[in-house]
Amino acid sequence: MSQASIRVGKITVTAVSDGILKTGLDVILGLTPEECARLAGCAYDAPIYLPVNSFLIDLAGKHVLVDAGSGSNMQPTLGKLPDNLRAIGVPPEAITTILLTHLHPDHANGLIDGDGNAIFPNAELIVHEQESRFYLERDANDGDSERVRRTLVASKLAVAPYRGRIRTIPDGEALPGISAVLQPGHTRGHTCWLLQSGRERLLIWGDIVHLPSVQVPRPDAALVYDVDPVMAPETRAQVFDWVARERLRVAGAHLPYPGFGTITRQGDGGAAFAYTASP
Ligand SMILES: [Zn+2]
């Protein structure tokens, strides 16, 4: 069985599940239904189940969480993060900092309960200034899709009880050994979090990949969830190139639980990249 905790130098990182998001292959853009089905290994109209993972970082006695899960009103199989944190002895009250990769509902709605109260009463939120500008510091305009409009409303509600303890940051070190690396496309301010301790590193890459069976062999496959479906695939290809070249371990919000693995460049012929889950 693969391990839920890994060491990155002196830092321990533990995958904590929020549950399973049910979706379908029709969220994929730019591939034929036949191609989607072939890569995914199932019928085009079969349900697809995406894991939703958060990552708990033990940083010199502080409990830092990457992403807050989906909350209680998205799907009944989601919103399990608070209970799963309690089960490992780190209840939501113990979380000191939450690093957000972006403000989509499966990452940010879990900040609040059904009454709009903070699930993490003692946590500071850290969000990239570009993500904050797009979702938190403006109202909808004519150019926004229906999906963006919904997220504009939901993300403001999700962060409301954290007013006064939200830190917006540019790229660079946000906490000792943890840096923000803007990788936009999925959202305007989509952020990967790079951990470094000694010589070891880990890239917690958020939503660079949703469906590894499809998007690793075909990084050009965008999703309807992408705010910019042209930029998201370009960013994905660049990140694949970067982590493969530097043999940088990755952790993904939607990679099979616990979500740790590596991307390697393949030889000639066939797909350029492959994903291998950590043992
Ligand atoms: Zn997501």
Question: In this predicted model, what pLDDT tens digit does every residue of 44-68 receive, in sequence order?
Answer: 999 999 999 999 999 988 999 999 9
- Which residue is associated with the tokens 């540019």? 170
Asked if 201 and 8 count as a contact pair (C-beta separation under 8 A), the reply is yes
- pLDDT tens digit sequence for 14-46: 999 999 999 999 999 999 999 999 999 999 999
pLDDT at 3: 74
* CA angle (204, 70, 179) in 5-degree steps: 25
For the chain, report the end-to-end CA distance as a whole number of angstroms.
7
pLDDT at 131: 98
CA 106 to chain centre: 9
Q: How far is the CA of 101 from the centre of ligand 1 (A)?
A: 9
Q: How far is the CA of 31 from the centre of ligand 1 (A)?
A: 20
pLDDT at 60: 86
- Which residue is associated with the tokens 């510091």? 137
What integer is the mean pLDDT of 236-249?
A: 96
Q: How far is the CA of 147 from the centre of ligand 1 (A)?
A: 14
β-pairing verdict for 11-24 and 47-59 = antiparallel
Q: How far is the CA of 107 from the centre of ligand 1 (A)?
A: 6
| pLDDT reading at 89 higher than 70 | yes
Q: Largest Cα–Cα distance in the chain?
A: 54
Domains of the chain: 5-277 (3.60.15.10)
Confidence band of 246 (pLDDT split at 50, 70, 90) = very high
Residues with CB under 5 A from ligand 1 (ion): 106, 207
- pLDDT tens digit sequence for 127-174: 999 999 999 999 999 999 999 999 999 999 999 999 999 999 999 999
Q: How far is the CA of 268 from the centre of ligand 1 (A)?
A: 32
What integer is the mean pLDDT of 107-127?
A: 97
Q: How far is the CA of 186 from the centre of ligand 1 (A)?
A: 9
Q: How far is the CA of 209 from the centre of ligand 1 (A)?
A: 9
Q: How far is the CA of 154 from the centre of ligand 1 (A)?
A: 14
| pLDDT reading at 2 higher than 70 | no
Asked if 211 and 22 count as a contact pair (C-beta separation under 8 A), the reply is no
What percentage of the chain exceeds 90 in pLDDT? 94
Q: How far is the CA of 279 from the centre of ligand 1 (A)?
A: 24
| pLDDT reading at 87 higher than 60 | yes
Query: In whole numbers, what is the pLDDT of the chain averaged over residues?
Result: 96
Beta bridge partners, 64, equal 57, 97
pLDDT at 1: 45
Q: How far is the CA of 206 from the centre of ligand 1 (A)?
A: 7
| pLDDT reading at 269 higher than 80 | no
Q: How far is the CA of 269 from the centre of ligand 1 (A)?
A: 31
pTM score of the predicted model: 0.96
Q: How far is the CA of 271 from the centre of ligand 1 (A)?
A: 24
The one-letter amino acid code at 236 reads R
Q: How far is the CA of 208 from the centre of ligand 1 (A)?
A: 9
Q: How far is the CA of 236 from the centre of ligand 1 (A)?
A: 14
What integer is the mean pLDDT of 108-134?
A: 98
What integer is the mean pLDDT of 179-192?
A: 98
Q: How far is the CA of 210 from the centre of ligand 1 (A)?
A: 7
pLDDT at 279: 76
Q: How far is the CA of 207 from the centre of ligand 1 (A)?
A: 5
Asked if 243 and 208 count as a contact pair (C-beta separation under 8 A), the reply is no
Beta bridge partners, 260, equal 251
Q: How far is the CA of 2 from the centre of ligand 1 (A)?
A: 22
What are the tokens at 76? 């009944």
What are the tokens at 53? 């993972």
Q: How far is the CA of 267 from the centre of ligand 1 (A)?
A: 30
Sequence-ordered list of residues with C-beta below 8 angstroms from that of 145, at least 6 positions apart, any chain = none
